Chains A and B, each alone.
Chain A
């Protein structure tokens, strides 16, 4: 990888997005932070440029605004690495009775990110280089009663990334799927998570850095999750439907 490759973080205020931004900046990469209320990110822009002496900027971004074309037109240049971090866990119980809430979860985790990444893919293909990273979730590996609105949207996103990788493999464009497992972030604050299965945001960032530099395809941040999800996927549906997972 060339060291001046710029990195765009979509959903940069998230704990995972911040850690990824710092990690790539620490390796000398210029950073563009994209998030809602981007003006609030000025402290992060100053922080990143002071710490790592790289160029940094912030730009307004809403993953469900249907404005991907406009968004990328407004960028001074197409970044070399694009990381989609935006996502929304929502509340499963609410999602079951409130369609607007459910739609928001689906749009924020699947249709929104997919539309943005389609636009990125088109432009990277035209240029002939680039790397696309999607932060998906192990929740998409099998729908479960505890979070299947979120999980199904992540499943859609995972399938999308898989197809996109297939589509772009011959074009020298890398597509990475990151499946973090539990991560201690704002999203999971207050939940009781088993420490052995819970990663710090920095671990997700390190895994993302390694995946991009090594050219990996699908990454489980803590490898134990690969095993856990393999077991969960192996349970016959007849039994699975009675379980409380």
Chain B
């Protein structure tokens, strides 16, 4: 690292963020070589590892031993450092909080040659700024976090159909004790059917849930069945049309009822398509993810979905999720309420639509997820992240404003 601080740097993990967070005007630090597991305590489930360790490795090696990450995003090809820097949330946010809630401590390189250990009792300001801080408060070198015990490598999934948005939200509220929940909204539906969706609950299965012949090997993985993979398109056929086809198929496959499913297709449906994320880079897709506070969610979501339906392209499918309470991270995204995530092609028309979605989000007191953003305006950020000033103050205090910069921080003045 350049100790004079002349050249700004930004860390990059597995580059699974959608926007401009992991590159910038200066050097990019590829963290993937820092990928050693330091220690694991099988009594408590506490793991210490370097920041470049991939979540996919943790899952592959620890699930058979009865441990699972406390929080997982919708792809397993992310690094532990990236999970902290985005303070990622999963389908269990309403109960488990975000990843930062399970981090005990980490070692942070401050860019002047010094390394600080940060936790809830030590360098608290840096701990709070770094969880969700998008790499702008130093480079996470190593982290210690708690895993959760699981009794099998399967999920007991339960799918319910919701005829409209209100019904979907009622299902979420009634299912608040379920470990995982998510809804796939069919954006084809309008009017009285606006928000028609499949709400999918899940709990870690116990061997008792298995057929008697499978009970003795609760962690065995079934050999991947080709038809379980949502799409069999060859790589070259993966374009915009096939992504929306994927979405539709995925939605249609969600037949109501209970069934046992393997962890991987449950949590990571998109990972089954090799390098699917390249489609987004090359063909120009944008993700849009907002969260609305609980009080304004019902009206706000209806307004968002109406606006999307009005825009005309019926191929999109939106993912809806109930989030729990706000995290301690100064720039963490989650807020008690509902989050909506959408894929859009990056056309001029789309950007007009996204501006209108911004207005609805802002009016509802919501905000956008930085790790998925590439276009938000500074005013929107400033109006929606109330602890932004404290974040900026930490950046000033430690001399981070010149040392750690990304295209994201330059664009938004972070």
Inter-subunit contact A46/B39 (CB<8 Å)? yes
Inter-subunit contact B61/A52 (CB<8 Å)? yes
Inter-subunit contact B39/A50 (CB<8 Å)? yes
Q: Residue A47 at the B interface, CB < 8 A?
A: yes
The CA of A47 and the CA of B49, in the complex, are separated in Å by 8
Q: Residue B277 at the A interface, CB < 8 A?
A: no
Chain A contact-residue range equals under 10
Q: Residue B385 at the A interface, CB < 8 A?
A: no
Q: Residue A203 at the B interface, CB < 8 A?
A: no
Q: Residue A2 at the B interface, CB < 8 A?
A: no
The CA of A47 and the CA of B61, in the complex, are separated in Å by 12
Q: Residue B36 at the A interface, CB < 8 A?
A: yes
Taking CB atoms, residues of chain B closer than 8 Å to A44 are 36
Query: Which residues 110-136 of A have a CB within 8 angstroms of B?
Result: none
Taking CB atoms, residues of chain B closer than 8 Å to A43 are 36, 38, 50
Q: Residue B57 at the A interface, CB < 8 A?
A: yes
Give the number of residues in B that approach A within 8 Å (Cβ atoms): 8
The CA of A238 and the CA of B50, in the complex, are separated in Å by 55
Inter-subunit contact B61/A46 (CB<8 Å)? no
Q: Residue A214 at the B interface, CB < 8 A?
A: no
Taking CB atoms, residues of chain A closer than 8 Å to B263 are none
Inter-subunit contact B61/A51 (CB<8 Å)? yes
Query: Which residues 23-62 of B have a CB within 8 angstroms of A?
Result: 36-40, 50, 57, 61
Query: Which residues 11-50 of A have a CB within 8 angstroms of B?
Result: 43-44, 46-47, 50
Q: Map CB proximity to A onto B94-105 as digits: 1 under 8 Å, 0 otherwise.
A: 000000000000
Taking CB atoms, residues of chain B closer than 8 Å to A46 are 36-39
Query: Which residues 90-117 of B have a CB within 8 angstroms of A?
Result: none
Closest chain B CB from A196 CB (angstroms): 15
Which residue of chain A has the shortest Cβ distance to B48 in the bound complex? A50
Which residue of chain B has the shortest Cβ distance to A52 in the bound complex? B61
Which residue of chain A has the shortest Cβ distance to B41 in the bound complex? A50
Closest chain A CB from B155 CB (angstroms): 24
Taking CB atoms, residues of chain A closer than 8 Å to B38 are 43, 46-47, 50
The CA of A7 and the CA of B27, in the complex, are separated in Å by 39
The CA of A44 and the CA of B37, in the complex, are separated in Å by 8
Taking CB atoms, residues of chain A closer than 8 Å to B50 are 43
The CA of A43 and the CA of B35, in the complex, are separated in Å by 10
Which residue of chain B has the shortest Cβ distance to A22 in the bound complex? B57
Closest chain A CB from B17 CB (angstroms): 24
Closest chain A CB from B14 CB (angstroms): 16
Closest chain A CB from B129 CB (angstroms): 27
The CA of A50 and the CA of B46, in the complex, are separated in Å by 12
Which residue of chain B has the shortest Cβ distance to A47 in the bound complex? B36
Closest chain A CB from B243 CB (angstroms): 25
Closest chain B CB from A15 CB (angstroms): 9
Interface centre among B36, B38, B57 (most CB of A within 10 A): B36
Taking CB atoms, residues of chain B closer than 8 Å to A50 are 37-40
The CA of A44 and the CA of B50, in the complex, are separated in Å by 11
Query: Which residues 46-104 of A have a CB within 8 angstroms of B?
Result: 46-47, 50-52
Q: Across chains A and B, which 8 residue pairs bring their CB atoms closest together, nearest first?
A: A47-B36, A50-B37, A43-B36, A50-B40, A47-B37, A51-B61, A51-B37, A46-B38
6 intermolecular pairs with C-beta atoms under 8 Å apart: A44-B36, A46-B36, A46-B39, A47-B38, A50-B39, A51-B61
Give 12 new A-B contacts, CB below 8 A, not counting A43-B36, A43-B50, A50-B37. Answer: A43-B38, A46-B36, A46-B37, A46-B38, A46-B39, A47-B36, A47-B37, A47-B38, A50-B38, A50-B40, A51-B37, A51-B61
